[in-house]
A = this chain, B = another copy of it.
Amino acid sequence: MKRILIIGGVAAGMKAAATARRRDPKLEIIVLQDEMDVSYSACGFPYHLADPVAIPRQRLIARGIERFRQDGIDVRVGHRVEAVDLAGRRATVNEIAAARDEVIGFDEVIFATGAQPITPPMRFAKGAVPVLALRSFRDADWLRELSPSLRRVAIIGGGYVGLEMAETLRFLGAEVELVEAMPRLLPTFDSLVSEAVAAHLALHNVVVSTNRRIVEVTPTGLVLQDGELIEADAVLAATGVRPRVDLAVVSGVPLGTTGAIAVDEHMRAGIDGVYAAGDCVESQHFVSKKPVWQPLGDVANRQARVAGINVAGGNAQFPGVLGSAIFRTFDLAVARTGLSFSQASASGFDPKRIAAQAPSRARYMPQSRPIDLILTVDQADGRILGAEAVGTDAVDKCIDILATATWAGLSVDVVAEMDLAYAPPFSPVMSPVQVVGEVACKDLSPRNTHGVDLAGELR
């Protein structure tokens, strides 16, 4: 009987296990997870923490350990893999609670070790306020227990997690100050997006300090490089993650240029019988064809499905990532897909940045809100290479239309003229996507003066 060892039991690990099991009921599947929970949605932590009554802890667990065991998947929580002998096909595993080592043989292995938080370098004074991360369920549990007592929280890092948690912590009644080392929030986004987010945070009384670094955590808060003290009862470190690849490295699994495990389209890690999936691997960008590291839950799921099929004798391929992502901070949604202007330039394209603002629904509908769209367009042929969107309505819809268009290789003139579904409660006569497509058509060929006619949009 073929035995599959899966190292890691969150998104990628459990998805790979479930997929392999469905595909081949005879496989022996062992999942080793160092935490005590499996199959949980880390992306849901901010919403669970904001309202643990509406979204209780167990709701974040897609499928419980017992369900997996009923399916004949041998899930072992509290087990840390110490070493993997790839040539000998065996792993040394430590049962953490019992402090006991065991050697487990396998035929094929999937590394699904995920990512881990990057902690910024800083000194800790004696009696320093707690510094929390938000990666594991244990992190979330600690923050949930602490949160009723938090009056003032400093968030380090203005990325997705920091901005989502700013909403959660304000909702819970805490004062929030956010410190970002870069000159602006979301520096990989268009500056228009950064400005919209900064304005929205100000509206919700989140104090934002950019271009500032932390040097020390003290009993009263954070000390910055310029000597200023930010008072806080606790600090949330949301300064990003890096692939968790220590075990892969010591086992001899090669990394790619991004520092994550390099895999082919079958999720094979370059050594016979060794697969990897999820936040610990790098992917090929669907547009640039270059390696990128995209540690996101939906990507992890799709990769794990491919790995799960293939360890069960199938032949699935992962087509790459587009970099599609979205998050919410308060009422504002921020989303992207494909290549940004600078990514496109760096990838050898000759891109043009096209921006337009349009109403999310028929202007006379009270729910209509302005949405800003920014396209990255290939000047050579008008193809959409990527897009960004920011606004309080229809951002998810617009970015997914544009993700589909980018995936399909559509050019801006096609997007401007295609037939989307219109009714006043859902869209203007001309979708915001078509408005920015029209603006792009006009911008790309100045002789074409039949540009967008917002005022003439009728019915």
Which residues on A are within 8 Å of B, measured CB to CB?
A: 10-11, 14-15, 17-19, 22-23, 39-44, 47-48, 54-55, 59-60, 62-63, 67, 286, 296-302, 305, 308-309, 314, 316, 318-328, 333, 335-337, 362-366, 396-397, 399-401, 403-405, 407-410, 414-415, 417-427, 429-431, 449-451, 453, 455-459
| Contact A301 B429, beta carbon cutoff 8 Å | yes
In the complex the two chains form, is B421's CB within 8 Å of A364's CB? no
Are A15 and B456 in contact, CB atoms less than 8 angstroms apart? Answer: yes
Closest Cβ–Cβ distance, residue A54 to chain B (whole Å): 5
A456–B400 alpha-carbon span in the complex (Å): 23
Given A19-B450, A328-B423, A400-B431, 20 other A-B contacts at CB below 8 A? A11-B458, A14-B456, A40-B458, A44-B362, A47-B364, A47-B425, A63-B455, A296-B422, A297-B422, A298-B459, A300-B458, A308-B450, A322-B419, A324-B421, A325-B421, A325-B423, A326-B426, A405-B408, A407-B410, A408-B408
A366 to B, closest residue via Cβ: B54
Q: How far is the CA of A323 from the CA of B286 in the complex (A)?
A: 30
The residue from B15, B40, B404, B424 contacting A453, defined by CB atoms under 8 A apart: B15
Known: A404-B401, A418-B403. A424 touches B41 (CB 8 A): yes
In the complex formed, the residue of B with least CB distance to A428 is B298
Q: Please give, as numbers and ranges, the residues of chain B lying within 8 Å of A363 by CB-CB distance.
A: 59
B458 near A424: Cβ-Cβ < 8 Å: no
The answer on a CB contact under 8 Å between B407 and A418 is yes
Q: How far is the CB of A420 from chain B (nearest CB, A)?
A: 5
A298 pairs with B422, CB closer than 8 A: yes
CA–CA, A421 to B334, complex, Å?
10
B450 touches A22 (CB 8 A): yes
Q: Which residue of B lies closest to A327 (CB)?
A: B423
The one of B415, B417, B459 in contact with A42, judged by C-beta atoms closer than 8 angstroms, is: B459
Is A328 touching B426 in the complex (CB atoms < 8 A)? Answer: yes
Q: Give 21 pairs: A residue, B residue, CB < 8 Å, sorted on A.
A: A10-B459, A11-B458, A19-B453, A41-B364, A41-B459, A55-B365, A59-B363, A59-B364, A63-B455, A63-B456, A298-B419, A299-B419, A302-B419, A314-B450, A319-B418, A324-B421, A325-B423, A326-B426, A396-B397, A396-B426, A396-B427
Contact A47 B424 (CB under 8 A): yes
CB <8 Å contact, A421 and B400 = yes
Residues of the B chain whose Cβ atoms lie less than 8 Å from the Cβ of A18: 453, 455-456
Chain B positions within 8 Å of A324 at CB level: 419-422
- Residues of B near A451 (CB, < 8 A) are 22
CB distance from A52 to the nearest CB of B (A): 11
Q: A41 contacts B400, CB within 8 Å?
A: no
Q: Inside 8 A of A296's CB, which chain B residues have their CB?
A: 422
Q: Which of chain B's residues have a CB closer than 8 A to the CB of A286?
A: 419
A-B pairs, 8 with minimum CB distance: A297-B459, A408-B408, A18-B456, A298-B422, A322-B419, A326-B421, A11-B458, A396-B426
Q: Kindly provide the distance from the CB of A307 to the nearest chain B CB, expressed in whole angstroms.
A: 11
Central interface residue in A362, A363, A396, A421, by most chain B CB within 10 Å: A421
